[in-house]
Structure formats: C-alpha cells, structure tokens
A and B are shown apart, each in its own frame.
Chain A
Amino acid sequence: MNVISGCCQASALTPPDDTLAVVISNQWVNDEYKRLVLQADGAASQSLPGQFFNLLCPSEGEHKPYFRRPMSTYKADPATGQVEFLYKVTGKGTYGLETLGQAQTVEILGPLGKGFDLQPGWQHMIIVARGVGLATLAPLAEAAHRLGIRLTAVLSARSEKSLLSRERFASLGADVRVVLDEDGSSSPERLEPLLRQIIAREGTDALFTCGSRRLTQLLKKLSAELGLVGQVALEQQMVCGLGMCQCCVEVFEVDGLRVGKRVCLEGPVFDLAEVV
C-alpha cells in the first residue's frame, strides 16, 4: 500500500527546532481545558497531524516542573506561523502554562515525532477521540477534509459539559457522534455496534484513535477483523522528546515479536496492529 505522509505533504518531515514562541492568547475553553495560541514562525508551524512539541513550562509558585512537557499539536498553520495547544490544567507543568499571558514567551521544541499517515484515495474514515485525544485528532480531521475524505468523528467524554471541539469537527464537515459516560453510551459494549454500523454503511477505509486504552483495544480488534487501516496516537512520560533518553518506550508486537519502541521518535502515532 502506498501510504504518503499526512495531508499531501509527501516531502520529508520538517526537522525540529527550539523556538521561542510568543503567546497570542491563552483562554479557557471549558472548566478544565485551556487553548494556547502561539506565534511560532519557522519549523514549528510546519507541524503535521499527530506530531507534538516539548514545552518548557514556566514555574508557578511552588510548582517547578523540571522536565519539559510533551503536548500534541492542536493546530499549526504555516501561512500565519501560528501553533495551538489544547491542554488540561492538571499538574506541575500545566499549572505554569496556565499563567502565561499575552506577549509572554515560551520555548517549544518541535515539531517532534511521526504523525498520522493518510491516503488520498480513501473514501471515509472514523476518528474516535476521548479527553485530550481530541486535541491530537483535530488536525487529522482538517487533513482529511482537505483530501476530500469523508469523516465520522466519535467524540467521547464524561459529560456533555466536558465535551471539547465539537464545533471544530463539525465545521470540517464531519459527521459528529457524541458518546458520554453519563448516559452509558461511551462504553466499548455500546460503541462497538455503532462503529460496525457506520463502517458497513460508509465503506470505511481507516480508523484513528487517541486518549483511551479501552477505545484503542476496541479499534485494534475492529481494524484487524475488518482489514482496515488503524492508527493510534499514544501518550507517555517523556524527557528529551528526541529519542535520546529512552524513557518513553512502550512494548509493541511486530511479526510475533515483542519490540520496545520510543513513543517520541518511532511514534507517537503507531499502527493499531502493533499495539499490545
């Protein structure tokens, strides 16, 4: 299968740089998540869907993050030089990030890693995203839209209130399906028949997911059984983000062998068939 790199940019990946980016805005999008918009000319805005950055988060009071924090690209636009991140304010790193105001600067190392592979000939694909996985998959939806691939986006969340980016997916012409913990519709048992139904009706070519181990296992099963392309973006604790420190390894299964791969360099996007 001739798979080219995301959104028709078949050329080589842009090598990462450590960019001093300037904050354009840093606004709450709901009770838990903020959206950080940065001016980051150069390599940074060339980030492809699924790629990420390693952010040097500022200290906030007693919260002094020592490591950088990896964060997937929520949006990158080479035309404007802007890069966006969607993050949950949850720990030492993001407490500091949360305090960034307009015109302040932040060092962002990237774009890093290997993103999603899209094939222009596809007719239809399904994205199943949960939590901050929505941020990772939003650029993929844009790429699919540009390639004219029809898209169903299944957005999973605890409640209607914690749902993110519904409008962004909808504005890209995606058929948006919301599944929630609060009404039980997000359980793998309820999702499986829904996905099978969509696949059968739409002639789906590929499945993508991020943000949930249970959903990853469900999509791995479906893609294997139905012979569909399947990709997942993984999260892991990282230090360097460049493949040097070997702390972000995960176990994968390749040709029946257990193989350790670095999420930062060989990923963060992996073939669902390899995921254990």
Chain B
Amino acid sequence: MINLSVQVGGLRLKNPVMPASGTFAEELAHLLDFNQLGALVTKTITTEKRSGNPMPRVCELNDGMMNAIGIPSKGAQLFIDKVVPFYRDYDAPLIVSISAPTAQGFADLAARLSDVPGVAGIEANISCPNLEAHGQSFGMQAESTRDVVELMRQVTSLPLWVKLTPNAGEVVPVALAAQEAGADAVVVGNTLLGLSVDIERGRARLGNFMGGISGAAIRPLMVRLTYQCAQALEIPVIGCGGIATADDALEFIYAGASAVQVGTATFLHPKTMNTMVSELEAYCRRKGVASISTLIGALDDLPAEPFGALP
C-alpha cells in the first residue's frame, strides 16, 4: 500500500493532487471523483459581484492557452449560501480562493469565511494578472504581499495559502515576505502575463488586451520557480503550471512541491486529476517508494562535472 498523503500548510491531504483555482466547479462532479482528490480549490470569489472582462476571454496557443476572464463573481454571500454547502458532501478539504481590491478587503473576506462551516482553508489570490491595469497585483512586490498577508493572518486561524505570481521580477523575496507574514503555504503560481496579437486585425486576441499564459508552455519556468521557492522557504510550496500527467506532477514534487495543482489540463481532459493520482501510485510502486512525501525536494541538484576544457 503506497502512502500518497502529504502535509500541506496546516492540512493533511489524502494525496498531492488538487485543482487550480478557476478550473474547477460543481459540474465536474459528473466526471471526476472529488473524494479521490487531495483538496478542492474554488474559483476565486470576491465580496461584491463582478462582471468579468470583455470578450474574447481566451485564446489558444501552440502548447497552451491564454485567458483574461477577470474573475466574474456572484459575490461572497451567494457563494457561502449555495456553493459551500454543495462541497460539504465531499471528504476532501475545501480551499476557498479569494481576491479583493484592497488589503483590508482581503482580510474582511478571509475573516468572513473563517466562520463558515465546511471551509477548510483560504487561498489568497494576490496574483491574478487580469484584475488591475497591466498585470499589477499585490503579489508583484514583497512589501505589498507582506501587508496583505499580515492583515489576513490577524483575522483568520484557517490554513492560509498564498498564490504567487511568476510575473514578479524576483519571486523568492515575495515568497519569503508571505512566509514572514504568516502564510501556511505558497502556491507557485498563477499564470504568466502575455500578449497575443491577431495580425489580420492588428488587435490583441484577448478583449482585456493582455492575459495569463497557462499550459505546458510555461511548465519548466514554474518548476524552476517552485525549486527556488522550496529552497528558500520553511513552509510548503504547492506547484502549479502546465501539469497534465503524473510525470509533470513529479517534476514539481522532485523540485520541492509538497502538492500540485492541475488547471488547464482539466479543461481538455476533465478526468485528468483522477488519472494522475493512480499514475502517481504506479510510479511509486515501480520505484519502490513507500511514501510519496519522501520524493518532495528529492531532486539531485549536485552540480554536474565541470566540462574541463577550453574551446
């Protein structure tokens, strides 16, 4: 019997596989066994209703996609009344992704959710590149990250995960700021800000102009950031970015991720996460690994032999 369970930011998860925010909803229950997931992560909610971005909101790339959905939200009250009760029927812990225009707004929403039965943790989306002009967000700077995480930490005792952005110039200092401010884990990370041009029309292909790149195209970048953050942090890192198979997930785990989030792959193959869990188990069996947690950060990063000759 392979032990797939992992400890992540105040929670013991049955296995390291969970959805990335924004790529998961109640409707998936027809196709995916939620009880076989490590955790359930909701689409980002905001206190107020939001309409979301202009159309088109997505475009396809050769090996990935771009989105600028803009977090349409029916508001926190409807979420608490209608969505949270739906997920109470499942064993996997419910992680609610939240966003707000101000640090105080993040704290208010975190506080409000802390009293809601069925909410097991909070993922602070301080990194959505599509909310503010030109991809600005709290997660772009260490200082603003520290401010918003500190305020949330003061008002909630729930496990607090902070979703970072690869768009920050230096991600590690931002991750350290989140840790120092009391985060229980960081998610590395959100989409990579891009711009795709329709050359027939001379216009951006997304209604929001810029948008976040996801899918296999960004995986090596996200594995690298996961590695760098895991090296620097005491708290767990959750890897995310272009994970479609167990092999992809294992790259992140070797690099130091305690768990992984699957996003874009679910859009194309809704049963991906269930398949991935069985494949992870098969890998552990093949490698004689009794517990997957022993693979976390197991990447051999000893430097290779110097080349030893001049051209």
Q: Which A positions have Cβ atoms within 8 angstroms of B?
A: 15-18, 56, 64-68, 107, 109, 237, 239-240, 242-247, 249, 260, 265
- Cβ contact of A66, chosen from B24, B27, B55, B64, cutoff 8 A: B64
The answer to whether B27 and A245 touch across the interface, beta carbons within 8 angstroms, is no
Q: Give the residues in chain B near A240, CB-CB below 8 Å.
A: 23, 266-267, 270
Given contact pairs A15-B30, A244-B28, A245-B58, a sample of 9 additional A-B residue pairs in the complex whose CB atoms are under 8 Å apart = A15-B31, A64-B62, A66-B62, A240-B270, A242-B31, A242-B270, A246-B43, A247-B57, A247-B67
The answer to whether B52 and A242 touch across the interface, beta carbons within 8 angstroms, is no
Give the nearest-CB partner of A265 in chain B: B27
Task: Knowing A16-B30, A16-B31, A237-B58 are in contact, say whether A245-B51 is a contact too (CB < 8 A).
Answer: no
Task: Give the 10 A-B CB pairs with smallest separation, nearest first.
Answer: A66-B60, A15-B30, A247-B57, A244-B25, A247-B58, A240-B267, A242-B27, A243-B27, A239-B267, A246-B69
- Cβ contact of A56, chosen from B30, B56, B61, B268, cutoff 8 A: B268
The answer to whether A67 and B62 touch across the interface, beta carbons within 8 angstroms, is no
Q: Is B9's beta carbon under 8 Å from chain A?
A: no
Q: Is B271's beta carbon under 8 Å from chain A?
A: yes
* B188-211 interface (Cβ within 8 A of A): none
Distance in angstroms between the alpha carbons of A21 and B2 in the assembled complex: 34
Distance in angstroms between the alpha carbons of A66 and B196 in the assembled complex: 15
Q: Is B215's beta carbon under 8 Å from chain A?
A: yes
Distance in angstroms between the alpha carbons of A239 and B72 in the assembled complex: 16
Q: Mark B20-36, 1 if CB is under 8 A from A, else 0.
A: 00111101101100000
Give the nearest-CB partner of B58 in chain A: A247
Closest Cβ of chain A to B266, distance in Å, is: 7
The answer to whether A18 and B269 touch across the interface, beta carbons within 8 angstroms, is yes
Q: Which B positions have Cβ atoms within 8 angstroms of A?
A: 22-25, 27-28, 30-31, 43, 51-52, 55-58, 60-65, 67, 69, 72, 215, 266-271
Closest Cβ of chain A to B239, distance in Å, is: 21
- Cβ contact of B60, chosen from A67, A107, A265, cutoff 8 A: A67
Give the nearest-CB partner of A66 in chain B: B60
Give the nearest-CB partner of A242 in chain B: B27
Distance in angstroms between the alpha carbons of A71 and B43 in the assembled complex: 26
Q: Give the residues in chain A near B57, CB-CB below 8 Å.
A: 246-247, 249
Distance in angstroms between the alpha carbons of A246 and B215 in the assembled complex: 17
Task: Knowing A64-B62, A66-B215, A68-B268 are in contact, say whether A246-B30 is a contact too (CB < 8 A).
Answer: no
A contact face: mostly helix, strand, loop, or mixed: loop
Closest Cβ of chain B to A251, distance in Å, is: 9
The answer to whether B25 and A67 touch across the interface, beta carbons within 8 angstroms, is no
The answer to whether B56 and A245 touch across the interface, beta carbons within 8 angstroms, is no
Closest Cβ of chain A to B101, distance in Å, is: 19
Distance in angstroms between the alpha carbons of A56 and B270 in the assembled complex: 12
The answer to whether A243 and B25 touch across the interface, beta carbons within 8 angstroms, is yes
Q: Give the residues in chain A near B25, CB-CB below 8 Å.
A: 242-244
The answer to whether A260 and B72 touch across the interface, beta carbons within 8 angstroms, is yes
Distance in angstroms between the alpha carbons of A247 and B72 in the assembled complex: 10
Distance in angstroms between the alpha carbons of A106 and B83 in the assembled complex: 34
Give the nearest-CB partner of B55 in chain A: A249
The answer to whether A66 and B63 touch across the interface, beta carbons within 8 angstroms, is yes
The answer to whether A249 and B27 touch across the interface, beta carbons within 8 angstroms, is no
Distance in angstroms between the alpha carbons of A43 and B268 in the assembled complex: 19
Task: Knowing A16-B30, A265-B27 are in contact, say whether A66-B61 is a contact too (CB < 8 A).
Answer: yes
Distance in angstroms between the alpha carbons of A239 and B67 in the assembled complex: 10
The answer to whether A249 and B23 touch across the interface, beta carbons within 8 angstroms, is no
Q: Give the residues in chain B near A67, CB-CB below 8 Å.
A: 58, 60, 65, 267-268
Task: Knowing A66-B63, A249-B52 are in contact, say whether A244-B27 is a contact too (CB < 8 A).
Answer: yes
Distance in angstroms between the alpha carbons of A245 and B214 in the assembled complex: 13
Task: Knowing A18-B269, A245-B69 are in contact, say whether A239-B58 is a contact too (CB < 8 A).
Answer: yes
A-B contact pairs, 21 of them (CB 8 A): A15-B30, A16-B30, A18-B269, A65-B60, A66-B60, A66-B268, A67-B60, A67-B267, A237-B58, A239-B65, A240-B266, A242-B28, A244-B23, A245-B58, A245-B267, A246-B57, A247-B67, A249-B55, A249-B72, A260-B52, A265-B27
Give the nearest-CB partner of A68 in chain B: B268
The answer to whether B52 and A246 touch across the interface, beta carbons within 8 angstroms, is yes
Q: Give the residues in chain A near B67, CB-CB below 8 Å.
A: 245, 247
Give the nearest-CB partner of A109 in chain B: B270
Distance in angstroms between the alpha carbons of A239 and B214 in the assembled complex: 13
Q: Give the residues in chain B near A68, CB-CB below 8 Å.
A: 268
- Cβ contact of A245, chosen from B22, B31, B60, B64, cutoff 8 A: B22
